[in-house]
Amino acid sequence: MHQPEFHLRLPDWLIQHLNKPLPAFISDQQKMAWVIELSRHNSANDGGPFAAAVFDSSTNELISVGANLVIPTNCSVMHAEIVALIMAQQKTGRYHLEQNSEHSYELFSTTEPCAMCMGAIPWAGISRLVCGARDEDARKIGFDEGDKPDDWMKKFSQRNISVVRDLCRHEATQVLEQYAQQHGTLY
């Protein structure tokens, strides 16, 4: 029986975007503003209204990006965070980013992680998570974020993962609201 194959490739618009000179990523604000801009582009290019990026915490180097690819790939697990983590692991050659590494890595996400992404973050070796919009902002427009523990940030802290919430929340929420106004597919 013939089995399908799955190849993960970033969308052409994102590859072109990454081939342009990147801004200096000095502050958390600059990183999040850039990731939110990616979510706008993804939404405008038939993707979901979410984006994420992995940065080296000590150098501020961009390691990888992810855009929500659920619709174009017909694959429910292709959330922006998952794509960014996969690409970071491929780039570093490590399934656990901090394993045997002198570096620590941070994930910037335009929205707090859903239940699935929440599980992937500790396994991927992320030491810091920075979020724009909140879970309730995504749910408000109709996205199903899954069953998450109320104390998820405490659980991350117990795993030595710090969490920053609400960075550029207004701007990140605007992308979600625009997606809803344009009757984007909810999945």
Residue 98 falls in the annotated catalytic set:
no
Task: Specify the pairing of strand 128-133 against strand 162-164.
Answer: parallel
> Catalytic pick from 5, 37, 61, 81?
81
Task: Provide the token pair at 155.
Answer: 């659980």
Active site positions, annotated: 81
